[in-house]
Amino acid sequence: MSLTTAKFVRTAILALTTATLSLAVVAADAPKSLYDRLGGKPALNAVVGELWTQVAADARINGRFAHTKPEVFGAQLVDFLCVTSGGPCKYSGADMKSAHTGMKLSELEFNALAEDTVKALDKFNVPATEKGEVMTLLGSLKGDVINR
Ligand code: HEM
């Protein structure tokens, strides 16, 4: 190996090592997604299952789901929440505007579902920070869901 080649190789190795080290630092510092902090897919399945129990008992809105198959809807909702909270899922359903167009949902109905969601999150003792993030996420979709 000539002297110039040896110098090049040394520089390349140094550059690679530095790059790898900075990547490791980024990975270590990366904040955990909401999905991970909630407990991943098993946690979402549990919360959505409990949400369904709450909704089915909620006379303010259960009529809306009279023809809904819980297992199909539940799976869609889990995938939707998984994707929107930063999880590694695929959501194949409609976007929130299209999914609720024609239903003419009211703000009262939206708030009822929000209350039921809080009950479901509380049942599994989801901490205040994550509960707040879930509710903010749902709240940000209100305009897409109601009065459509
Ligand atoms: C931010 C709040 C909400 C979210 C994230 C949400 C999410 C979803 C999702 C993911 C679907 C499935 C779409 C598909 O399969 O293509 C859906 C459908 C539906 N949503 Fe919502 N929704 C919200 C609010 C509401 C409210 C307030 C009501 C009524 C009280 C409601 C009633 C329904 C109904 C009846 C369906 C159709 C279910 C079926 O397939 O039979 N949604 N929603």
Residue nearest to atom 21 of ligand 1 (CA): 100
Q: Which atom of ligand 1 is nearest to the CA of 144?
A: 1
| Centre of ligand 1 from the C-alpha of residue 99, in Å | 6
Which H or E element spans position 71?
A: helix 70-84
- pLDDT: which is higher, 146 or 16: 146
> How far is 92 from 14, CA to CA, in rounded Å?
45
Q: Mean pLDDT throughout 67-73?
A: 98
Structure tokens at 93: 């359903």
User: How confident is the model over 119-140, as pLDDT tens digits?
Assistant: 999 999 999 999 999 999 999 9
Structure tokens at 129: 């920070």
Q: Which atom of ligand 1 is nearest to the CA of 145?
A: 24
User: How confident is the model over 79-120, as pLDDT tens digits?
Assistant: 999 999 999 999 999 999 999 999 999 999 999 999 999 999
Given a cut of 60, is residue 23 above it in pLDDT? Answer: no
Confidence of residue 30 (pLDDT cuts 50, 70, 90): confident
> How far is 47 from 130, CA to CA, in rounded Å?
13
Residue 82, judged by CB atoms within 10 A of its CB (0-12, 13-18, 19+), counts as buried
Pocket of ligand 1 (CB under 6 A): 61, 64-65, 67-68, 73, 76-77, 80, 93-94, 96, 99-100, 105, 109-110, 113, 138, 141, 145
| Centre of ligand 1 from the C-alpha of residue 98, in Å | 10
In the chain, the N- to C-terminal Cα span, in Å, equals: 72
Least Cα distance to 127 among 55, 27, 43 occurs for 43
